[in-house]
Amino acid sequence: MAGIVVVFDFDKTVIEPDSDNWVVDELGATDLFNQLLPTMPWNSLMDRMMVELHAQGKTIDDIEQVLRRVPIHPRIVPAIKAAHALGCDLRILSDANLFFIETILDHLGIKDCFSEINTNPSYVDVEGRLRISPYVDFKSSPHTCINPCPPNMCKGMILERMRCCVAKEGRKRMIYLGDGIGDFCPSLKLDEGDFMMPRKDFPAWNLIRENEGRVRAEIHEWVDGAELESVLLKLIEKIRIQESSLQSLMVDCKFGSIPVAAHESRPQVLRVHQ
Ligand SMILES: [Mg+2]
Ligand SMILES: [Zn+2]
């Protein structure tokens, strides 16, 4: 189903913890992190923490080792592999950073399942420090979103741009999975016929409930990796059935072979929200 684009948030969606917190906690820098958090944006703080950890003797290899043992629900990797095998176009949209995400996806053997990783850029500098930059340079050109998005990234704007690009290839249906406050904005950018999968009892799910009626996509919650897998695969199957009904109707119309009775019964089959 090349017509389905599945967009995954990363922290607390693909992996169980927040990758930033995981690295900071596992490398023993939690106190410093908490002390600095009120003084700067999260993304800038993570860059600062990487410099601090390097000064304390922590290497890139130490960071990689910590990332490789990040907790993940056992059904997440099979879910991603299955969606990819069904022909879906899978993408990451995350406020973590490229180094963390690529290291983890590589380790899990699922990096090639994703066509895009949209996240904060990162690189290892000449001194061997991991440096993390904001996705949006909020000092020189801040984004103008009024939703609760962090200064360095509006996921809604990225999703809109994604939709524009893929629309050139023909009709696409989107499924978005996420848990955090930053995942609320993209949920408002989804269209009718798309699906939003917020993690139950997490901030995005709460915001969506408080703003009922503003999300045009059909909403399907999930609690853990097992439910994520079953809901995601059901939605992919649902879209597949809807799209094949639509195609057969278009063929019927083209050849003028659609009987009178079918004119009356088909719209039920085609309804997006069943
Ligand atoms: Mg998240
Ligand atoms: Zn936004």
Does residue 62 have a known ligand-binding role?
no
Domain of 66: which CATH number?
3.40.50.1000
Q: How many domains does the chain contain in total?
A: 1
In a domain, 270, yes or no: no
Which ligand has the nearest atom to the CA of 155? Answer: 2
In a domain, 228, yes or no: yes
Average pLDDT, the chain: 92
- Encode pLDDT of 87-139 as tens digits: 999 999 999 999 999 999 999 999 999 999 999 999 999 999 999 999 999 88
The question of whether 183 is a catalytic residue gets the answer: no
Does residue 9 have a known ligand-binding role?
yes
Domain around 164:
4-236
- Encode pLDDT of 194-210 as tens digits: 999 999 999 999 999 99
Does residue 112 have a known ligand-binding role?
no
Which ligand has the nearest atom to the CA of 181? Answer: 1
C-alpha to C-alpha distance for 50 and 43, rounded to whole angstroms: 11
User: Distance, CA 150 to ligand 2 centroid (Å)?
Assistant: 8
In a domain, 114, yes or no: yes
In a domain, 242, yes or no: no
In a domain, 92, yes or no: yes
In a domain, 268, yes or no: no
Does residue 183 have a known ligand-binding role?
no
**What mean pLDDT comes out for the span 207-216?**
95
Instruction: Please give the residue that has the higher pLDDT: either 242 or 2.
Output: 242
User: Distance, CA 2 to ligand 2 centroid (Å)?
Assistant: 27
In a domain, 259, yes or no: no
In a domain, 253, yes or no: no
For 112, list phi and psi in degrees, rounded to 5: -75, -10
User: Distance, CA 198 to ligand 2 centroid (Å)?
Assistant: 16
Whether residue 158 contacts residue 118, with contact meaning beta carbons closer than 8 Å, is answered with yes
From 11, 18, 47, 194, the catalytic residue: 11
The question of whether 47 is a catalytic residue gets the answer: no
Confidence of residue 1 (pLDDT cuts 50, 70, 90): low
C-alpha to C-alpha distance for 222 and 75, rounded to whole angstroms: 13
pLDDT exceeds cutoff 70 at 12: yes
How many CB atoms lie under 10 A from the CB of residue 218? 18
Does residue 137 have a known ligand-binding role?
no
C-alpha to C-alpha distance for 168 and 30, rounded to whole angstroms: 46
Task: Kindly state the greatest CA–CA separation across the chain.
Answer: 77
Which ligand has the nearest atom to the CA of 17? Answer: 1
pLDDT exceeds cutoff 80 at 171: yes
User: Distance, CA 10 to ligand 1 centroid (Å)?
Assistant: 5
User: Distance, CA 42 to ligand 1 centroid (Å)?
Assistant: 14
